Amino acid sequence: MSRFAVPAQAGKSNIMDYQVLFNGAMILASFFGGWTLNTITKSLERLDKDVRAMPMNYVGRVDYREDIRELKEIMNKVFERLDNKVDK
């Protein structure tokens, strides 16, 4: 062997270090990507549950119409009283 001979492993060690770094970066990116997708999925499921419960929380159309009719009657009575007071 000559004095300036390069061992066979000298070049591969450098490449191997970059491969390990790349693999580590890919593992971290995969972990955070999976965590993000899992969080988004949980949020969507919670939103879907809330949206499906919404019709139960609101007043029905029939009840709303009855309440509006009652309010209109009350307002008509108030306006009639005001008109009677103005006429006097």
pLDDT tens-digit series, residues 13-61: 677 788 899 999 999 999 999 999 999 999 999 999 988 887 766 667 7
Kindly state the average pLDDT of the residues 1-15.
58
Residue 44 lies in a domain: yes
- In this predicted structure, what is the pLDDT of residue 11? 54
- The model carries a pTM of 0.47
- Residue 4 pLDDT > 60: no
Q: Do 15 and 45 fall within a single domain?
A: yes
Q: Do 30 and 51 fall within a single domain?
A: yes
- Residue 71 pLDDT > 90: yes
Total domains present in the chain: 2
Q: Do 22 and 53 fall within a single domain?
A: yes
Residue 2 lies in a domain: no
Q: 39: closest CA among 47, 27, 28?
A: 47
46 burial type by CB count under 10 A (0-12 exposed, 13-18 middle, 19+ buried): exposed
Domain assignment of residue 82, given as a range? 59-88
